[in-house]
Structure 1
């Protein structure tokens, strides 16, 4: 049983090879200048800097992480389950394909909310299992019960816990289990104080991708610098999202393929949470959207296209977009990434210069849903830090009873 608490530590950043010119995020657009004291604004804008800090923390502890993970990843027929609740579950959905490619081990995203109700559906007793758990607070009842059930239902289970709260119950689960356990606790600032997960989501996603190929973390330095610059460009152009938020749309659909499907799902939740459900959101893959879900589109729908950098996938995406563009209702849309050989009316292209073969590319795309949610929340007169007027939605889920099976 091993636990390493990765807290912020002092770095002489001037000696680092990674350029830090992008971390000065003081300039805000007009719509948020009066809202700089909001946690949501601060947490969204801090992400490029926090990605760097997360990278440096993992790099510093490369040997310890590798010593724990590599023997597990070398196990024949290992099964990796990536899990969490809500946004934390969507981290696993977004990272699944990347983790599977980097480890060459079967990787499956299964939410804790499914594991808790039907553990016998998902855990396989005699199959060696690595359970990777994501949690911002680490105090959600399902998160704790899921790791406990893994110990009960699997003969050979190993835990990797990635969380933002050193004081959370999940961070200290190693004291409760006899199974091998390793906790990565990210910098305290990633433990978002606002209701909606923003920096916590992207930093845990970044961590999952980096640790699944920890031996090559040094080779990802350039990719990290690239996504930090991309995110900074998006953040500095927030007036685009402010103008979009002024439009009269009542439904938003996020579409993505491959790993972008997980980002589409996270984005749909982010916008719906931050608008207190006043804007109904959905998500789907580009191809899947054709098979019925497209019926949700009406004249007051905004479509957000999270394009792939894969030329093969993009061909399918482009076909759908051009087909929807023929709709006489002139459906409004947002274009993110992909290739520039697509132009449609009533659309807004986000300034995002994609880079091929950047394994971290999906991380800055997450900001699209965050910023759209933030500005629409402000447009509706809500408090983005706590947008739930009725109190039905809380930062840490309330009212969940755990029943032993």
Structure 2
């Protein structure tokens, strides 16, 4: 008798162990959702390809406004997607682009919306059920004379997709397997990030296929070649973790810090920063029980600044362990204890694509650290402080005047 789909999942090897073993530890969902990401990226690429004409038609109508402004928004991890993509959208669309969390748009809409400027509001949402998501859409409609909505989401049944307030707009629904069922956003984060990047560059989609193939190769290398090293590191007795990144990798550092903190139920306190900014006071957080993770740029100009910071850490408090994640074997590697090198040739992945795979080490560290602390990665929050969809948010009516 042929085995069922459930049986196949249980038998599938994930990080060297059958899926059933992770399920018994109540981490099966998260393990599978982390492990399947390279395939999910390929599926996302194919989906964007299949919908490129309709996406292009929508954007043609949006970009007929020469003074259009783009706002990238979301809450939590979804907001970090906007941080990573802010530069890519501005560079490749030629329109002023800003990333604001929905949580900021709700409290201070007058600082971010302008009445007389056409706006494309790009909303990222795993479930589309966060109360702030639709409220931000409604505020944009209220404040802006002309507003378009691009919804990038993982759930067809989410309130945001079902909203009556997203017209004129376009909904890009990712493959069903992107809608993570575990607490922490993993595949949903990276697939929405990839979709946003591809849509920002929809006119040059065919030229980006080699980038997609390289990204998938890097993702598989991290998951297949480095998961055991990261599991060993996760078993070390560190109680805080610092992630550093520059440019798009700064947003990757933001997501990385949240992932480890969520999956360990706050038992591992995390911080993120840029390499240059870390000198200006935050460097004091390094203690003998700190894990440092360097998300290295592949831009030689940027790498000079990163190397200077890494050297300064080397002659001071070094923390418990240092990990360097780099496309190539660069100079920062010699000052690190564990080196994750993704490539051996001279070709480079663009930084925005690099940010996608650079969050995988944090997902793995968070997953294995959660287990080492006796937690359940699929639902690590013991007292329910963190939920898959945020709870208890009251949306209040904004009493202020419309912006000028």
1:93 corresponds in structure 2 to 83
In structure 1, list runs of 5 or more residues that go unmatched: 1-24
1:83 partnered with 2:85: no
Do residues 204 (structure 1) and 197 (structure 2) align? no
**TM-score when normalising by structure 1:** 0.90
d(CA) in 1 for partners of 2:393, 2:318: 43
2: CA distance between counterparts of 1:150 and 1:86? 19
Equivalent residue for 1:214, pick from 202, 207, 210: 202
Query: Is 1:360 the counterpart of 2:353 in the alignment?
Result: yes
Name which of 178, 193, 201 aligns with 2:181: 193
- Judging changes above 3 Å, is the alpha-carbon distance between structure 1 residues 321 and 154 closer, same or farther for their aligned structure 2 residues? same
Deviation string, structure 1 residues 36-87 (Cα, Å, up to 9, x no partner): 5610000001111111111111101110000001231242121100000000
Judge which range, 277-286 or 340-349, deviates more.
340-349
Q: Which runs of 5+ in 2 are unaligned?
A: 1-11, 399-404
Separation of aligned partners in 2, 1:198 and 1:329: 29
Report if aligned partners of 1:30, 1:239 keep a CA contact under 8 Å in 2.
Answer: no
Give, in whole Å, the separation in 2 of the partners of 1:353 and 1:158.
40
Q: Is the 8 A contact 1:127 1:156 kept in 2?
A: yes
Deviation at 1:29, TM superposition (A): 2.7
| Structure 1 residues 64 and 343: CA distance shift in structure 2, 3 A | closer
Give 1:230 deviation, angstroms. Answer: 0.7
Instruction: Report runs of 4+ in structure 1 exceeding 4 Å deviation.
Output: 30-33, 328-331
- Conserved 8 A contact 1:80-1:107: yes
Counterparts of residues 228-307 of structure 1 (less than 5 Å): 228-237=216-225, 238-307=227-296
Alpha-carbon distance between aligned partners in 1 of 2:83 and 2:265, rounded to the nearest angstrom = 24
Equivalent residue, structure 2, for 1:46: 36
Number of aligned pairs? 380
Q: CA deviation at 1:216?
A: 1.4
- Give how far 1:221 is off: 1.2
What do residues 137-168 of structure 1 show as CA deviations (whole Å, max 9, x unaligned)?
Answer: 00000001000000000001110000000000
Residues in 2 aligned to 1:403 and 1:83: alpha-carbon distance in whole angstroms: 19
Find the residue that maps to 2:97 and give its secondary structure.
Answer: strand
Q: Residues of 2 paired with 1:305 and 1:254: CA distance?
A: 6
The equivalent of 1:34 in structure 2 is: 21
SS at match of 2:238: coil
Distance verdict in 2 for CA 1:329–1:66, change over 3 Å: closer
Which secondary structure does the structure 1 equivalent of 2:156 belong to? Answer: coil
TM-score under structure 2 length normalisation: 0.90
User: After superposition, what is the alpha-carbon deviation per residue over 1:364-394, rounded to whole angstroms, capped at 9, x for unaligned?
Assistant: 1110111110011111111000000011110
What is aligned with 2:315? 326
* Superposition RMSD in Å: 1.8
Q: 1:343 to 1:231 in 2, by over 3 A?
A: closer
> Is the Cα–Cα contact under 8 Å of residues 39 and 194 in structure 1 kept in the other structure?
yes
Contact in 2 for aligned 1:269/1:281 (Cα 8 Å): yes
Question: Partner of 2:103 in structure 1?
Answer: 113
User: 1:393 matched to which residue of 2?
Assistant: 386
2:155 match:
165
- Is the 1:330–1:346 Cα contact (8 Å) retained in structure 2? no
Residue 98 of structure 1, CA deviation: 1.1
**Any conservation in 2 of the 1:325–1:331 contact (CA below 8 Å)?**
no
Deviations 1:177-220 (A, max 9, x none): 5x411111111111100000000000000000001111211211
